[in-house]
Structure 1
Amino acid sequence: MPVLVIARHAHAEDGAGSDFDRRLTAAGEAEAARAADFLAPLPLTHLVASPAARTRATGEALVRALRERGGAEAVLESDPALYNGPVQAWLDAIAAIPGDAAGAYIVGHQPSVAATVETLTGTAPESFRPSSVAVFELDSWDVEPGQYPAPQLRDFV
């Protein structure tokens, strides 16, 4: 059964400069590392992030954790449509996951992250704070909105 992780980036700097270039705070870097340690045992072979600095840094923490566990081929791809994109951009990113992928990780921003979880389950998550993840076990990568039980939700704040 494939595993899908929908993630929100860790805590980032407040509004100084452009939103796109906001970096993780020191606390956010620690959150990203904790999330990565939690996710590293999962069979995550397809990793995608919004191109914003804070999501790339969150995803790169997972790449480092996977490599430490022997996943030398772990690579974080960038999908510009995930930066403040609608739920459809997330569904398209899921649809683009290779059929033989054992697991996938997609990291982005609110409100799209929680809205995507709601689209998949039919129920809005109670909260989706920074550095939160939703872990789904799927039958296949052919996702159908509203067809999945509530995922395992966890935050690393």
Structure 2
Amino acid sequence: MSASQQQTFRLYLLRHAQAGWADPGGRDFDRRLTEAGQSEAAFVASAAMNNGYRPDVVFSSAAIRCRETTKILLQAFEGAPAAFYLDDMYNAQPGTYLRHAFEQQDTSSVMLVGHNPTIEAVAEALLGRDVMEASIPHGFPTAGLAVLQCSLPTKSEVQAWRLIDFLTP
């Protein structure tokens, strides 16, 4: 198979949009998007759709702010991809996110919707610190979407990944 015919795998890393503070006595898990956060999510969803950044499957933290961000994103796509809301992505280590992405054998693209610092750590694990600092020097803003790509079957090798795009509201 020539280089131009190589299969590629695309990983979309989306940090949830801006959320409000927890209600007094409330849980961090239950924080909702602010109006600004809803606008951020809609902007990034529209930009993703316009650029053809449509994942085959979406894995989202089950936290309310991630669910709301994911719902806005899915509304932008006709025939929305399957979405799964996972408790283990809340307060997770990067390995949990990577496991969800890499276990997908029959897909060419996966989106992870989650939290910082984990989203940023996943990007750094795949791209390397130098590329991360040069490409996203101020870290992941809310509703930031990193589009990463690698040639299959080398998903777990840092050198195989490239940052294709980084969308922000």
Structure 1 residue ranges without an equivalent (≥5):
none
Q: Within 5 Å, give how 1:1-150 maps onto structure 2.
A: 1-16=8-23, 17-40=26-49, 41-67=52-78, 71-72=79-80, 74-97=81-104, 99-123=105-129, 124=132, 125-126=136-137, 127-140=139-152, 142-147=154-159, 148-150=161-163
1:27-59 CA distance string (max 9 Å, x none): 101111111111222241111100000001111
Distance in 1, Cα, partners of 2:53 & 2:77? 9
Q: Check 1:14–1:141 CA distance in 2 against 1; reply closer, same or farther (3 A cut).
A: farther
Distance in 1, Cα, partners of 2:89 & 2:153? 18
Distance in 2, Cα, partners of 1:27 & 1:116? 26
Displacement of 1:18 after TM fit?
A: 0.9
Distance in 2, Cα, partners of 1:109 & 1:22? 12
| TM-score (normalizing by structure 1) | 0.88
More helix by share: 2
Partner amino acid, structure 2, of 1:32: A
1:57-100 CA distance string (max 9 Å, x none): 11111111112xxx25x232112221110011011011122x33
Q: Which has the larger radius of gyration?
A: 2
Q: Which residue of 2 aligns with 1:152?
A: 165
Of 81-90 and 147-156, the range deviating more from structure 2:
147-156
What is the aligned length?
151
Structure 2 residue ranges without an equivalent (≥5):
1-7
Partner amino acid, structure 2, of 1:138: C
Q: Which residue of 1 aligns with 2:5?
A: none
| TM-score (normalizing by structure 2) | 0.82
